[in-house]
Amino acid sequence: MDPQRKRHAFGQHFLKDPRICNAIVEAALNDAHTFGCKTLLEIGPGRGAITDLLIERQRSEPGKYSFILVEKDRDLAAGWRESQPGVTVECADFLRLPEERWISSPPVAVVSNLPYSAGTAIVIALAKHPDKIPTMTLMFQAEVAQRLYAQPGTKNWGSLSIWIQNRWDVKRLLHVPPGAFHPRPKVNSEVVSFHPRKEPRIVIAPTAEADQHWEKLLKVCFLHRRKMLRSALPKNSIWSRALEKSGIDPTLRAEALSWENWEQLYRASLAGCDNVG
């Protein structure tokens, strides 16, 4: 990829620190090897600070996995197609790319310096496939990363933390300062690793309706997170009725609930819904 390219793709901050790049690549490829991945997926390769290292390693170990790049910027995608004919390049917004274009040959290892504006949406889309993705090494704005690996009872613990950690083990790998990027962002970043749990903490039926119900429960409970649950949940709703049935102390706030409490509240809420498994 031409290092002199001046265009900033959709406001993304390009990683330039070789130490950080090498650490990300090492973590991603070690996991890809450990889990026997057939596909390596990078979202938003940009100018290639991570990508060039991945391709270099791929050439030294041919045949280990297929490599897919998803790049939204047309000029950058065209550059990758021209310079790397052996790599599959999808010029698309990842969130609009049909899943079969990137997940058809599992297990898939994912690595990315995610754009700040879409990081949360992308990790949610990826995290819906713990059966096909055994490892993800992703960079986020630090504020988002801290919500992903937050612990119960802390200020960053919320609906995103619970939704992700129900199915995934999440670990902070690296702190990345603003000076590691060009242009320099105004915020810190962090690299986070994800590995699917052998069993979810709370079993959600494998249907779209059940997923939506679980997500709605989390969101409504944290909508007014500083209020006690008995005040935060809408009156005479399935959520307030579930709280009554669950036996959970109604003076607790959502952030104080244990995994056992969430299990109780979720199961109680299902009683009021005929179309949710």
For residue 239, the model assigns a pLDDT of 96
- In this predicted structure, the answer to whether residue 106 has a pLDDT above a threshold of 50 is yes
Name the nearest CA neighbour of 84 among 40, 111, 41, 52.
52
For residue 143, the model assigns a pLDDT of 96
- What does pLDDT average to over the chain? 92
Cβ atoms of 194 and 161 within 8 Å: the answer is no
Span 168-186, pLDDT tens digits:
999 999 999 999 998 999 9
CATH of domain 208-270: 1.10.8.100
- Is the model more confident about 5 or about 255? 255
Q: Which of 55-59, 126-130, 230-234 has the lowest mean pLDDT?
A: 55-59
**Residue 244 structure tokens:** 């009554």
Span 125-144, pLDDT tens digits:
999 999 999 999 999 999 99
Q: Where are the domains of the chain?
A: 9-196, 208-270
pTM of the model: 0.92
The architecture (CATH level 2) of 9-196 comes to: 3-Layer(aba) Sandwich (3.40)
Asked if 9-196 and 208-270 have one fold, the answer is no
For residue 153, the model assigns a pLDDT of 85
Q: Quick one: CA dihedral 201, 205, 207, 211, positive or negative?
A: negative
- In this predicted structure, the answer to whether residue 121 has a pLDDT above a threshold of 90 is yes
For residue 277, the model assigns a pLDDT of 55
For residues 151 and 141, give the distance between their C-alpha atoms in angstroms, rounded to a whole number.
18
For residue 272, the model assigns a pLDDT of 66
Span 83-101, pLDDT tens digits:
998 899 999 999 999 999 9
CA 36 to chain centre: 21
- In this predicted structure, the answer to whether residue 77 has a pLDDT above a threshold of 80 is yes
- In this predicted structure, the answer to whether residue 20 has a pLDDT above a threshold of 60 is yes
